[in-house]
């Protein structure tokens, strides 16, 4: 319905805005790791990539705290609380958004980590295995969980976001493992 879609749109919009920092850091990780790969300096490649990852996680942690603290106030950016005709709907939108923001706050950490690590892997010219990891993360893990928990009798919109969170968690962990494996292998062979 319109109330659920409105709440989801508010949460998605805030999440997308905070994701822009992680996305930019992911591009810088790709460039910096690509430079170090070209120089065949794999210790620096790993150090630089991990420092960008830590910076991204730091920003994501700040956003996580801000979202959790202000989750009941953020929806007011998007709705007119003084609209007497839609007042009841707007209050329900704020309540639903506040619940979703708890999941989206955690979402920030894994989303930031996976996009930065993915950038570092692109810089290392490793795209085939990460593509498989991302496919499995979203379509084999995230989507079925979203489908199951998003059912009308289960958690509804919260269940959909839980599925997204699970997919991102899987993606972040396995992309990190892939990066660590490749970087260590390059360092040993150098």
Tell me the per-residue pLDDT of 60-77, one tens digit each, with 9 for 90 and over.
999 999 999 999 999 999
DSSP letter at 41 equals -
Mean pLDDT of 43-61: 97
Provide the 8-state DSSP code for 79: S
* Confidence band, pLDDT 50/70/90 cuts, at residue 153: confident
Q: Residue 163 pLDDT > 80, yes or no?
A: yes
Stretch 35-40: mean pLDDT: 96
DSSP code per residue over 124-165: TT--HHHHHHHHIIIIIIIHHHHHHHTSTTTTTHHHHHHHHH
Q: Are 173 and 53 in contact (CB under 8 A)?
A: no
How far apart are the C-alpha atoms of 109 and 112, rounded to whole Å?
5
Q: Is 126 left (phi over 0), alpha (psi -120 to 50) or beta?
A: beta
What pTM was computed for the model?
0.93
């Amino acid at each position: 319905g319109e109330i659920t879609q409105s709440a989801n749109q508010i949460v998605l919009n805030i999440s997308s805005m905070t994701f822009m920092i992680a996305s930019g850091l992911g591009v810088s990780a790709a460039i910096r790791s690509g430079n170090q790969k070209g120089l065949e300096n794999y210790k620096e490649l790993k150090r630089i990539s991990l420092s960008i990852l830590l910076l991204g996680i730091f920003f994501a942690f700040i956003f996580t705290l801000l979202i959790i603290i202000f989750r009941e106030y953020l929806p007011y950016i998007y709705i007119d609380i003084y609209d007497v005709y839609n007042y009841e709907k707007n209050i329900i939108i704020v309540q639903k958004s506040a619940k979703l923001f708890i999941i989206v706050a955690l979402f920030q950490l894994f989303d930031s980590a996976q996009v930065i690590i993915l950038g570092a892997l692109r810089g290392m010219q490793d795209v085939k295995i990460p593509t498989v990891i991302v496919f499995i993360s979203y379509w084999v893990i995230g989507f079925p969980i979203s489908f199951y928990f998003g059912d009308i009798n289960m958690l509804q919109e919260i269940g959909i976001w839980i599925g997204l969170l699970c997919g991102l968690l899987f993606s972040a962990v396995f992309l990190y493992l892939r990066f660590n494996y490749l970087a260590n292998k390059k360092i040993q062979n150098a």
